[in-house]
Structure 1
């Protein structure tokens, strides 16, 4: 696991501050005040343990960026930080294959560094597709992207690009040059937008034209952004980062809207969306179960609402683990729903009975107190093309399970 970050800073204050940012990103800082100390500490670990390095350009024993050279030659993605933002220093830094260049101008750079560290970790599972008919142009772009841990794919034209998208669902960004095989770039972008929204696939057009007309045409065809050559490396990476962060932010909002805030399970609204999106018509063989925790109010009254929340989260975790291949949701309060498509009544009953026993046998420890809980289950296995009808039937069966003593499954096969 690449969880360590080599932080090389001559200022004790800056070293402490950057180490805190590294920890905030969920990573482990390995600090050093000089090049010699950095070399020593780096040798104390396996190189593969390091995600990247954050290196001051000017150090007491490395006044002209020699520490950057050490980190880069050690195959560490390297973020350069400097006290000076003069042209000579900037050119000297960017002449090296650094991940980014951060002058210590104001407090915002520390926020940017924190985001950059998090981005480097996320990029390990982010696919980027570079589409350009000219190999040397593709390779120039790929060489910049490689510094950031992306999973990179190449295509000369539209047909190859579509194949890559079909094969690799983790592609979140496409960088498209002016010249591609098979189709004009703008037509290809327009066709992509028929399949992929701007919130799930970012498209950056790269234009060689000095005129702004082609850039506008890119945007109107569906591109998220445009880069005009010649561009500087910093602009290139800032635009890529901004577009990927937009997708991340949309996903965070979508996840918050779709998940129950307490248990992390899908909520009722997302449950209906998922089932209806997956099936135009519900299968003839199916099962739907409503689960309700028995005497849950007594748990709240006896141990407190924090204990009740803990019990709900515990049961939700059991549901997520036991039914990770079907549709589950928290419907509210202590009620949960499980939909098992293509399940016979016997198979559904057997699986739910195993789960009922699992809940019954669980001992939940909260604040040094052991709490036990059971669950009543209404199981509907009737043929229906209406999920609401199944829920209504399961709800009646759940009521019967409670009326007949709780901690049991009530099922009716129609």
Structure 2
């Protein structure tokens, strides 16, 4: 379901621009020109339908930010816009539990807003751990993070913090104080870096004014960044977002390097890395299947390459569903590979199920319904090299093609589909 963004703004011109920005970002704008109208619209919706609210500080029936209080009390992350640039207005705004604020004269506001909306939605999948001995400081930091929709975890000591990192795989950032009861925050960072690189888990250390060497100690111990307390909320969020986006950018680069651009399946490079890692301590049984789409060139020649791409994507979706417990990759063209920790007889049963599912698969392309079959070579012969296994499977695949297609042949010649 598309998330809604509540806009409370009495300027028709500003409202139209905000609507365009929100729609372009992929959300639905729900607009009100007064606090009274906003309350009525909100009552007709469920609170969880709203990603956030964009609220004008000054409205005819809410001249002093009362509309901000309404959305905050409704637990909607709130972005404030104002035409006033005086320090008193700014002070009132930043002392409220808002996500961010902007002046209407800021030419960069609408571009930043588009990015911020996407950020608020992505934050709903990102965990941040706060490790602080002081309950008051810990709760205050957690409350700040929750304004931006982050999933938050809290610990009062290092042991609890490390345990939560081991249990929660969505934690991408740790914010830690140094003064902890069982170990210093700096020692905690050193311990974390033995298991997690800076590219996998970001760490922000909390330093204090009066301890100028503490920030450097955090960085030397492996922290990505530091904050000096007391810090302003704007700086806090800038540092947090900067470090979260660093982790996301690294993840995106890795996905691009390891994923087939068309099907979204792992690519050949990722397959070899994963399988070779598994083979460092090989399971009791292993089998490898190499499969190829039958007469794929005819599909391209008859319907065009876009149709061929549709078949590849349809087949990849089916393979991903059936082979979720195995190592699967697109090797290129119409060829796919599956590595299974199974004895040959069990692997052949899985492959026969797969062959039958593919035979029944119907793929819609424009006004056409396309179908395909596959030929498979499958082997359990492992002599210390995954490359040798692939060569065996490739020869068996060739035999399956030569002997009629839409079948599998295994390295145990007694087994054929």
Task: Give the match for residue 358 of structure 2.
Answer: 359
1:116–1:412 CA distance, 2 compared to 1 (3 A): same
Q: Deviations over 1:47-79 (max 9, x none)?
A: 222222111111222221111111112221211
Task: Give the match for residue 333 of structure 1.
Answer: 333
Q: Normalising by structure 2, what TM-score?
A: 0.95
What is the Cα deviation at residue 409 of structure 1? 0.3
Task: Give the match for residue 58 of structure 2.
Answer: 58
Task: Give the match for residue 35 of structure 1.
Answer: 35
What is the Cα deviation at residue 382 of structure 1? 2.1
Give, in whole Å, the separation in 2 of the partners of 1:82 and 1:73: 20
Task: Give the match for residue 283 of structure 1.
Answer: 283
What is the Cα deviation at residue 372 of structure 1? 2.1
What is the Cα deviation at residue 2 of structure 1? 7.9
Give, in whole Å, the separation in 1 of the partners of 2:190 and 2:209: 20
Kindly indicate whether the alpha-carbon contact (under 8 Å) linking 1:189 and 1:221 is maintained by their aligned counterparts in 2: yes
Alignment RMSD (CA, Å): 1.7
Give, in whole Å, the separation in 1 of the partners of 2:382 and 2:268: 22
Kindly indicate whether the alpha-carbon contact (under 8 Å) linking 1:376 and 1:402 is maintained by their aligned counterparts in 2: yes
Structure 2 alignment gaps of length 5 or more: none
Task: Give the match for residue 388 of structure 1.
Answer: 387
Task: Give the match for residue 26 of structure 2.
Answer: 26
Kindly indicate whether the alpha-carbon contact (under 8 Å) linking 1:57 and 1:67 is maintained by their aligned counterparts in 2: yes
Task: Give the match for residue 214 of structure 2.
Answer: 214
Kindly indicate whether the alpha-carbon contact (under 8 Å) linking 1:178 and 1:208 is maintained by their aligned counterparts in 2: no
Give, in whole Å, the separation in 1 of the partners of 2:56 and 2:278: 52
What is the Cα deviation at residue 252 of structure 1? 1.1
User: Runs (4+) of structure 1 moved beyond 6 Å?
Assistant: none
What is the Cα deviation at residue 17 of structure 1? 2.5
What is the Cα deviation at residue 29 of structure 1? 1.7
Give, in whole Å, the separation in 1 of the partners of 2:44 and 2:407: 58
1:349 aligns with 2:314: no
Q: Deviations over 1:237-268 (max 9, x none)?
A: 11111110111111111111110000000000
- Map 1:11-410 → 2, pairs under 5 A: 11-341=11-341, 343-410=342-409
Kindly indicate whether the alpha-carbon contact (under 8 Å) linking 1:131 and 1:154 is maintained by their aligned counterparts in 2: yes
Q: Bigger CA drift: 402-411 or 359-368?
A: 359-368
Q: Normalising by structure 1, what TM-score?
A: 0.95
1:85–1:275 CA distance, 2 compared to 1 (3 A): farther
Q: Deviations over 1:145-182 (max 9, x none)?
A: 22222222222222121111111111111111131122
> What is the DSSP-based 3-state SS (H/G/I as helix, E as strand, rest coil) of the residue aligned with 1:195?
coil
What is the Cα deviation at residue 93 of structure 1? 0.7
Q: Bigger CA drift: 326-335 or 77-86?
A: 77-86
Give, in whole Å, the separation in 2 of the partners of 1:373 and 1:234: 56
> What is the DSSP-based 3-state SS (H/G/I as helix, E as strand, rest coil) of the residue aligned with 2:194?
helix
Q: Bigger CA drift: 134-143 or 99-108?
A: 99-108
Kindly indicate whether the alpha-carbon contact (under 8 Å) linking 2:132 and 2:156 is maintained by their aligned counterparts in 1: yes
Give, in whole Å, the separation in 2 of the partners of 1:372 and 1:183: 62
Give, in whole Å, the separation in 1 of the partners of 2:384 and 2:177: 48
Kindly indicate whether the alpha-carbon contact (under 8 Å) linking 2:2 and 2:26 is maintained by their aligned counterparts in 1: no
Kindly indicate whether the alpha-carbon contact (under 8 Å) linking 1:101 and 1:234 is maintained by their aligned counterparts in 2: no
Give, in whole Å, the separation in 1 of the partners of 2:320 and 2:98: 42
Give, in whole Å, the separation in 2 of the partners of 1:362 and 1:242: 45
Structure 1 alignment gaps of length 5 or more: none
Give, in whole Å, the separation in 2 of the partners of 1:32 and 1:334: 53
Kindly indicate whether the alpha-carbon contact (under 8 Å) linking 1:202 and 1:244 is maintained by their aligned counterparts in 2: yes
Kindly indicate whether the alpha-carbon contact (under 8 Å) linking 2:9 and 2:55 is maintained by their aligned counterparts in 1: yes
Give, in whole Å, the separation in 2 of the partners of 1:387 and 1:198: 31
Kindly indicate whether the alpha-carbon contact (under 8 Å) linking 1:293 and 1:375 is maintained by their aligned counterparts in 2: yes
Give, in whole Å, the separation in 2 of the partners of 1:99 and 1:3: 17
Give, in whole Å, the separation in 1 of the partners of 2:320 and 2:208: 51
1:85–1:199 CA distance, 2 compared to 1 (3 A): farther
Give, in whole Å, the separation in 1 of the partners of 2:104 and 2:173: 30
What is the Cα deviation at residue 106 of structure 1? 2.9
Kindly indicate whether the alpha-carbon contact (under 8 Å) linking 2:128 and 2:151 is maintained by their aligned counterparts in 1: yes
Kindly indicate whether the alpha-carbon contact (under 8 Å) linking 2:179 and 2:185 is maintained by their aligned counterparts in 1: yes
